[in-house]
Amino acid sequence: MRESDIPLTAVSTPSGTLWEWLVMPQGLKNAPATFNRCVTHLLRSVRDFAPSYFDDVFIHSRAVDGKSEMEMHKEHLRRLFALMRKHKLYANLNKCIFGASEIPVLGCLVGKNGVLPDPGKVRVINEWPTPSNVKELRQFLGLAILIQVREQLRGQDSPAVAASQEGRCMGLNC
Protein backbone atom coordinates (compact mmCIF):
# COMPACT_ATOMS: atom_id res chain seq x y z
CA MET A 1 0.00 0.00 0.00
CA ARG A 2 1.28 3.47 -0.79
CA GLU A 3 2.33 5.47 2.25
CA SER A 4 -0.07 8.27 1.27
CA ASP A 5 -3.04 5.85 1.18
CA ILE A 6 -2.53 4.35 4.66
CA PRO A 7 -4.55 7.08 6.47
CA LEU A 8 -7.48 6.39 4.12
CA THR A 9 -7.82 2.90 5.61
CA ALA A 10 -8.09 4.09 9.23
CA VAL A 11 -10.69 2.40 11.42
CA SER A 12 -11.70 3.55 14.89
CA THR A 13 -12.46 0.82 17.44
CA PRO A 14 -15.11 1.19 20.20
CA SER A 15 -12.29 1.85 22.69
CA GLY A 16 -11.13 4.82 20.61
CA THR A 17 -8.01 3.13 19.23
CA LEU A 18 -7.21 4.05 15.64
CA TRP A 19 -6.01 1.24 13.36
CA GLU A 20 -4.48 1.74 9.91
CA TRP A 21 -3.75 -0.95 7.35
CA LEU A 22 -0.14 -1.17 6.16
CA VAL A 23 -1.04 -3.66 3.42
CA MET A 24 -4.13 -3.80 1.23
CA PRO A 25 -6.89 -5.65 3.10
CA GLN A 26 -9.56 -7.72 1.43
CA GLY A 27 -12.84 -5.84 1.36
CA LEU A 28 -11.65 -2.49 0.06
CA LYS A 29 -13.77 -1.50 -2.93
CA ASN A 30 -10.98 -1.69 -5.51
CA ALA A 31 -8.82 -4.36 -3.82
CA PRO A 32 -9.56 -7.17 -6.32
CA ALA A 33 -8.91 -4.99 -9.37
CA THR A 34 -5.77 -3.51 -7.82
CA PHE A 35 -4.46 -6.94 -6.84
CA ASN A 36 -5.15 -8.37 -10.32
CA ARG A 37 -3.44 -5.41 -12.00
CA CYS A 38 -0.42 -5.81 -9.71
CA VAL A 39 -0.04 -9.55 -10.41
CA THR A 40 -0.53 -9.02 -14.15
CA HIS A 41 2.11 -6.27 -14.16
CA LEU A 42 4.66 -8.27 -12.13
CA LEU A 43 4.25 -11.35 -14.33
CA ARG A 44 4.13 -9.52 -17.67
CA SER A 45 7.48 -10.95 -18.83
CA VAL A 46 6.11 -14.52 -18.69
CA ARG A 47 2.57 -13.89 -19.91
CA ASP A 48 3.27 -15.68 -23.23
CA PHE A 49 3.26 -19.01 -21.40
CA ALA A 50 1.93 -18.09 -17.93
CA PRO A 51 -1.23 -15.97 -18.01
CA SER A 52 -2.76 -15.07 -14.65
CA TYR A 53 -6.28 -14.63 -13.31
CA PHE A 54 -6.20 -12.89 -9.93
CA ASP A 55 -4.06 -15.22 -7.80
CA ASP A 56 -4.06 -18.14 -10.25
CA VAL A 57 -1.22 -18.57 -12.74
CA PHE A 58 -1.60 -21.09 -15.57
CA ILE A 59 1.54 -22.36 -17.28
CA HIS A 60 1.09 -23.98 -20.69
CA SER A 61 4.01 -25.51 -22.56
CA ARG A 62 4.61 -27.05 -25.98
CA ALA A 63 7.56 -28.90 -27.42
CA VAL A 64 9.93 -26.38 -29.07
CA ASP A 65 13.37 -26.60 -30.69
CA GLY A 66 13.82 -30.30 -29.94
CA LYS A 67 12.81 -29.92 -26.29
CA SER A 68 9.90 -32.01 -25.05
CA GLU A 69 6.76 -30.49 -23.54
CA MET A 70 7.96 -31.53 -20.07
CA GLU A 71 11.40 -29.94 -20.59
CA MET A 72 9.75 -26.70 -21.72
CA HIS A 73 7.33 -26.91 -18.78
CA LYS A 74 10.23 -27.22 -16.32
CA GLU A 75 11.98 -24.26 -17.97
CA HIS A 76 8.79 -22.19 -17.75
CA LEU A 77 8.40 -23.15 -14.07
CA ARG A 78 11.99 -22.07 -13.35
CA ARG A 79 11.41 -18.69 -15.00
CA LEU A 80 8.12 -18.15 -13.16
CA PHE A 81 9.57 -19.18 -9.78
CA ALA A 82 12.56 -16.86 -10.27
CA LEU A 83 10.19 -13.99 -11.02
CA MET A 84 8.04 -14.84 -8.00
CA ARG A 85 11.13 -14.90 -5.74
CA LYS A 86 12.25 -11.54 -7.12
CA HIS A 87 8.87 -9.93 -6.31
CA LYS A 88 8.31 -11.88 -3.06
CA LEU A 89 5.22 -13.67 -4.36
CA TYR A 90 4.40 -17.01 -2.75
CA ALA A 91 2.54 -20.11 -3.95
CA ASN A 92 0.57 -22.51 -1.78
CA LEU A 93 2.02 -25.91 -2.71
CA ASN A 94 -1.24 -27.64 -1.71
CA LYS A 95 -3.06 -25.71 -4.44
CA CYS A 96 -0.47 -26.28 -7.17
CA ILE A 97 -0.92 -28.75 -10.03
CA PHE A 98 2.26 -29.60 -11.97
CA GLY A 99 2.64 -31.35 -15.34
CA ALA A 100 -1.08 -31.99 -15.88
CA SER A 101 -2.58 -32.37 -19.35
CA GLU A 102 -5.70 -30.49 -18.18
CA ILE A 103 -6.59 -28.38 -15.16
CA PRO A 104 -9.83 -27.20 -13.53
CA VAL A 105 -10.49 -23.49 -14.13
CA LEU A 106 -13.72 -21.70 -13.18
CA GLY A 107 -15.90 -24.81 -13.43
CA CYS A 108 -14.30 -26.04 -16.65
CA LEU A 109 -11.42 -28.28 -17.64
CA VAL A 110 -8.79 -26.52 -19.75
CA GLY A 111 -6.25 -28.54 -21.72
CA LYS A 112 -5.05 -29.63 -25.15
CA ASN A 113 -8.63 -30.26 -26.27
CA GLY A 114 -9.71 -26.74 -25.41
CA VAL A 115 -12.20 -25.69 -22.75
CA LEU A 116 -14.67 -28.37 -21.71
CA PRO A 117 -17.32 -28.41 -18.99
CA ASP A 118 -16.21 -30.17 -15.80
CA PRO A 119 -18.00 -33.57 -15.77
CA GLY A 120 -18.77 -33.14 -12.07
CA LYS A 121 -20.53 -29.84 -12.75
CA VAL A 122 -22.43 -31.30 -15.72
CA ARG A 123 -23.58 -34.18 -13.50
CA VAL A 124 -25.10 -31.63 -11.09
CA ILE A 125 -27.03 -30.11 -14.01
CA ASN A 126 -28.23 -33.52 -15.23
CA GLU A 127 -29.39 -34.50 -11.73
CA TRP A 128 -31.07 -31.15 -10.99
CA PRO A 129 -34.76 -31.63 -10.10
CA THR A 130 -37.35 -30.27 -12.52
CA PRO A 131 -38.10 -26.65 -11.53
CA SER A 132 -41.62 -26.20 -10.17
CA ASN A 133 -41.70 -22.39 -10.00
CA VAL A 134 -40.02 -19.31 -11.46
CA LYS A 135 -37.50 -19.00 -8.61
CA GLU A 136 -36.31 -22.60 -9.07
CA LEU A 137 -36.17 -22.08 -12.85
CA ARG A 138 -33.97 -18.99 -12.39
CA GLN A 139 -31.70 -20.93 -10.01
CA PHE A 140 -31.30 -23.70 -12.57
CA LEU A 141 -30.61 -21.32 -15.47
CA GLY A 142 -28.09 -19.39 -13.35
CA LEU A 143 -26.23 -22.59 -12.54
CA ALA A 144 -26.32 -23.80 -16.15
CA ILE A 145 -24.96 -20.52 -17.49
CA LEU A 146 -22.39 -20.26 -14.70
CA ILE A 147 -20.67 -23.48 -15.71
CA GLN A 148 -20.82 -22.63 -19.40
CA VAL A 149 -23.12 -25.35 -20.67
CA ARG A 150 -25.45 -22.82 -22.23
CA GLU A 151 -24.15 -23.81 -25.67
CA GLN A 152 -25.43 -27.34 -25.05
CA LEU A 153 -28.86 -25.97 -24.09
CA ARG A 154 -29.12 -23.55 -27.04
CA GLY A 155 -32.42 -23.91 -28.83
CA GLN A 156 -33.94 -25.73 -25.86
CA ASP A 157 -33.84 -22.91 -23.36
CA SER A 158 -35.54 -20.10 -25.28
CA PRO A 159 -39.03 -20.63 -23.81
CA ALA A 160 -37.54 -21.18 -20.35
CA VAL A 161 -35.45 -18.02 -20.52
CA ALA A 162 -38.43 -16.01 -21.77
CA ALA A 163 -40.64 -17.41 -18.99
CA SER A 164 -38.00 -16.64 -16.39
CA GLN A 165 -37.63 -13.05 -17.58
CA GLU A 166 -41.39 -12.48 -17.68
CA GLY A 167 -41.89 -13.93 -14.21
CA ARG A 168 -43.96 -16.88 -15.40
CA CYS A 169 -43.41 -20.54 -16.10
CA MET A 170 -44.01 -22.24 -19.41
CA GLY A 171 -45.00 -25.88 -19.37
CA LEU A 172 -44.35 -26.12 -15.62
CA ASN A 173 -46.78 -26.37 -12.74
CA CYS A 174 -46.16 -23.13 -10.85
- Asked if residue 165 has pLDDT above 80, the reply is no
pLDDT band for 18, please (50, 70, 90 cuts): very high
pLDDT of residue 160: 47
Alpha helices in 60-157 (DSSP H): 69-86, 119-126, 134-146, 150-153
pLDDT on residue 121: 79
User: In the predicted model, is pLDDT for residue 157 greater than 80?
Assistant: no
- The model's pTM is 0.64
Bridge partner residues of 103 (DSSP) = 110
Q: Give the model confidence (pLDDT) of 37-70 as tens digits.
A: 999 999 999 999 999 988 899 998 888 999 998 9
Domain ranges of the chain: 3-102, 103-174
- CA dist 137 and 164 (Å) reads 7
